[in-house]
Structure 1
Amino acid sequence: MALKFTTSYLEDSLELFRHYKRLADRAMAQVADEKLFASLGEESNSIAIIVKHMAGNMRSRWTDFLSSDGEKPTRDRDSEFEDPAATREALMRDWESGWAAVLGALEPLTDDDLERTVTIRGEAHSVMQAINRQVAHYAHHIGQIVLLAKHFAAEEWESLTIPRRQSAEFNRRVSAGEASQR
């Protein structure tokens, strides 16, 4: 992730969300369609299930973010862990709709909004706390997506960051001003 210097919490948070989304997008792009729906065991989630859960969480948390509880009464969290979309295309539509809710809620905010109070499951959070909570939650699940994608892509996997055994070369290029960020 190319670091853009900022002292804006909101700008940095938006960039973190976008960074994690890009990681997951690039990881899922390396997985054959059928592997999106495969799990490592009976009690494990597939990439598709994780995507369905994240999209449901995103829509619940970020729809009417400043004015209603982040756990919407219409959300059925348990169903997010069953019967994901049947195709990559449908799954990705769900994924994109979730991210649209996140970005659509955050992009119009100002620094003055950070101290406002929102609720999640009836608990008061500052806007900043709510953002931190979701950054951590999404990073956790995107790590799972990346792990599963890497497992299923196997030897076809292309690193999302600095490939193994290439740190010294990357550092040399950074020092020389040649390195480009992925």
Structure 2
Amino acid sequence: MGIEKEYLRCVLKTFHSMKKLGEDAMDQLSYEELHIYPNEESNSIAVIIKHMWGNMLSRWTDFLTTDGEKSTRNRDDEFTGEFPSKTALYEAWNQGWEVLFTTLTSLQEKDLEKTIYIRGEAHSVIEAIERQISHYSYHIGQIVYVGKLHKSEKWKCLSVPRGKSIEYTEKLMSKHKNLENK
């Protein structure tokens, strides 16, 4: 497998992991909790999702052929309003990710050498992908953190629980060792 193909495989894996982490956090929250603003200067999880959705539609639609900041995007509107239901929130979430995944799976190794534009600024395709990994992981971290604030002791840990690092590592090591022996 060429390095370009491996890069695209890794990128897809990373984005799928991010999506799942965000969903695992959102699944623990009620519709109302998704719309709570932690303070006047912070965004609700719903607003973060609305922003990510708008960004994904803009950046990943016609990725190789048009500027990533589409004239149809109203970025300021992404930071206002609510979703009418948790279902509508998930529909927007999934639509954004679907555009991203469709675009990434359609990329060929040679596409990584191309130049694309975001707000008129030239980016290599790899730079543009890395920019979005950074951007989305930032927002997924916010979603998880705000979710933990809302649920407090009722939060179901999405990574290694406190005080359980050794146990967690031993469990993984044992799992991988068992797979190798099969």
- Provide TM-score, normalisation by structure 2: 0.92
Q: Is the 8 A contact 2:5 2:109 kept in 1?
A: no
Number of the residue aligned with 1:76: 74
Number of equivalenced pairs: 175
Shift in Å, 1:161: 1.1
Report what 1:158 is aligned to. 156
Instruction: Judge which range, 158-167 or 57-66, deviates more.
Output: 158-167
Provide the C-alpha distance between the structure 2 equivalents of 1:86 and 1:58, rounded to a whole number of angstroms: 21
2:166: which partner in 1? 168
Within the candidate set 45, 52, 55, 2:53 is matched to 55
Cα deviation 1:77-120 (Å, max 9, x = unaligned) = 00000013121111111111100110011011121110111110
Distance apart, 1:7 and its partner CA? 7.1
User: What is the aligned partner in structure 2 of residue 8 from structure 1?
Assistant: 6
Distance in 1, Cα, partners of 2:5 & 2:171 = 27
Q: Give the percent of matched residue pairs that are identical in Structure 1 and Structure 2.
A: 47
Counterpart position of 2:130 = 132
Runs of 4+ in 1 over 4 A off after TM superposition: none
**What is the DSSP-based 3-state SS (H/G/I as helix, E as strand, rest coil) of the residue aligned with 2:175?**
coil
Deviation at 1:177, TM superposition (A): 2.9
Q: Which 5+ residue runs of structure 1 have no aligned equivalent? A: 1-5
Q: 1:44-68: CA deviations, max 9, x gaps? A: 1000000000000000000000100
Q: CA 1:178–1:104 in structure 2 vs 1: closer, same or farther (change >3 Å)? A: closer
Match of 2:104 among 89, 103, 106: 106
Q: Could you tell me how far apart the structure 2 residues matched to 1:7 and 1:119 are?
A: 22
- The alignment's TM-score, normalised by the length of structure 1, stands at 0.92
SS at structure 2 position matched to 1:154: helix
The letter of the residue matching 1:46 is: S
Name the structure with the higher helix share.
Answer: 2
Match of 2:116 in 1: 118
